[in-house]
Amino acid sequence: MSVVTAERTAPEQTRAAREVYRDVLVKLVAEDDRYVCLDSDTGLFTAASWGGGARRYLNLGIAEQNLMGVAAGLARSGRIPFVNTMATFAATRALEAVKLDIAYNDLPVRIVATHGGLSAGHLGSTHHALEDLALMRLLPHMTVLVPADGPATESMVRAAAELPGPVYLRLGRGATPDLDAREPVRIGVAQPLRRGADVTLIATGPHPVLAAAEAADELAGDGIDAAVLNMHTVKPLDREAIVTAATRTRGIVTVEEHWAAGGLGSAVAEVVAELGVACPVRRVAVADRFAAGTGGHRHLLARNGISAAAVAVQARRLPA
C-alpha cells in the first residue's frame, strides 16, 4: 500500500537536494541574465561551470547581513538573485536584513538555505536550523518552500525563479530518496501521497515525509487508514487541504524537522483552531530544547523523535 518508502527507491534516485539545486541554478544563470547567484563562501559552487553566466556568480564572503542587503539592491535594480547560505544563518543571523531589505520591499530574492533542520548533524546545534520555518513564515510577502526530494527541488527552484516576491527555499544537506509521487509539486498546493479516511499525517521536508509515509504503512496494520500530505509549501499554506483533513478525518499529526513552536504544526493548528471544528492536532517536532544528543543526521532525527514510530504513536493517541 505504501507509495513512499526508502526501500522502494533505487540507489541512483538518491540525490542531495542541494546538488540538484546547484545544477539547476547553474543552468538558469547561464541561460537567463536576470538571474544572479550570490554566494557566502558555502563551497557549493566550487566546481560549477557557469559558462556565459560566470559574471553573475559572486562570492561575497562570510557576511550574511551584507549578503541579504546586496541581494535586495540587485533585485531593486531588476535582477533576480539566488542567495546561498545555511538555513540558520539566513533565518537568524541575517533576519533583520531579510525582513527589512527583502520582505518589506517585496523583492524577488530567492534565499536558498541548505542544512535545514537537523541535517547539519554532527556539526552541532550552532549549525542546526530548527527555527527557520517559523521565522520565515512570519514575514509578509515571503513564500516558504521545503521540497522533499530531488525532482521536487528541481521543479520548485524553476517555479520559484518566476515568482514575483521573495522566496525562502529550505534544503537539507545529505542525499535523500526520490518520492514515488503521482502528482507533481505545485507551489501552494499540498501533495497527496496517500489517501486515507481515518487520520491525516501532514509532513514537510524529506525525512518527515518519509516518516509519515512509513507510519501510514504501520498504522494500516492496526486498521488505521492514514492519509499522507506532503506540505512542501509552508507559506502560503494550503488551507483547503487542512480544512479537508480536519473535517473528513478525525485527527491530524504534523511532522517536521523544526522546533514544535511556530513551524508547520503551529501553522496547521492555527487553521484548525480558527475553523472551530473538533479536530485534534498533534505535533511531531523537536522539543523545546537544543537538539538532544550528538551524531549524524539520522541519529539525531531518531534521538529527537522525528521518526515513523513517533508519528504512529501520536496517530494512535488521537481520539477514536
Partner 1 sequence: MSDDHARRARERIVRMCANPEGGHLGGSMSLVEILVTLYHDVLRIDPRLPRDPDRDILLLSKGHGAIGLYAVLAGRGFFPEERLATYGAPDSVFTAHPNPAVPGVEMPTGSLGHGLPLGVGFALAARLDGSDRRCFVVLGDGELQEGSVWEAAMAAGAQKLDRLVAIVDRNGLQISGDTEETVALEPLADRWRSFGWTVREVDGHDTDQVRTALTDVPHTPGRPTVVLARTVKGKGLPYIEGQARSHYVRLTERGHRRAHAAVTRGRRA
- Judged by the rule CB under 8 A, the positions of this chain that interact with partner 1 are 33, 36, 55-56, 58, 60-61, 63, 65-79, 96-97, 100-101, 104-105
Q: Residue 146, CB half-sphere, CA atoms under 13 Å: how many? A: 35
- Min separation Cβ 151 and partner 1, Å: 32
Q: Which CB atom, from 29 or from 87, has the smaller least distance to partner 1?
A: 29
Cis check for the bond before 236: say yes or no (omega within 30 of 0).
yes
Strands 191-194 and 199-203, by their bridges, are unpaired
Q: Which CB atom, from 89 or from 259, has the smaller least distance to partner 1?
A: 89
- Min separation Cβ 100 and partner 1, Å: 6
Contacts with 7 (C-beta within 8 Å, 6 or more apart), sequence order: none
Four-residue CA torsion sign, 133, 115, 145, 317: negative
Report the candidate in 29, 4, 311, 44 with the shortest Cα–Cα distance to residue 149: 4
Cell of 153: 527541488
- Min separation Cβ 92 and partner 1, Å: 15
Q: Which CB atom, from 35 or from 168, has the smaller least distance to partner 1?
A: 35
- Min separation Cβ 213 and partner 1, Å: 42
Q: Which CB atom, from 100 or from 159, has the smaller least distance to partner 1?
A: 100
Q: Which CB atom, from 78 or from 223, has the smaller least distance to partner 1?
A: 78
Q: How far is CA 212 from CA 105, 169, 201, 231, 262, in A?
A: 37, 21, 6, 11, 20
- Min separation Cβ 63 and partner 1, Å: 4
Q: Which CB atom, from 81 or from 208, has the smaller least distance to partner 1?
A: 81
- Min separation Cβ 140 and partner 1, Å: 13
Q: Which CB atom, from 16 or from 68, has the smaller least distance to partner 1?
A: 68
Work out the widest C-alpha separation in the chain, in whole angstroms. 60
**Helix spans in 170-263 (H):** 206-221, 239-248
CA dist., res. 16 & res. 63, Å (int): 25
CB atoms within 10 A of CB 311: 29
- Min separation Cβ 59 and partner 1, Å: 9
Q: Which CB atom, from 64 or from 214, has the smaller least distance to partner 1?
A: 64
Q: Order the strands of the 35-39 sheet from edge to edge.
A: 57-59, 35-39, 80-86, 110-114, 167-170, 143-145, 233-235
> CB of 129 within 8 A of CB of 89?
no
User: Residue 61: which H helix or E strand, with range?
Assistant: none
- Min separation Cβ 282 and partner 1, Å: 39
Q: Which CB atom, from 45 or from 261, has the smaller least distance to partner 1?
A: 45
- Min separation Cβ 299 and partner 1, Å: 35
Q: How far is CA 237 from CA 233, 240, 242, 265, in A?
A: 6, 9, 9, 11
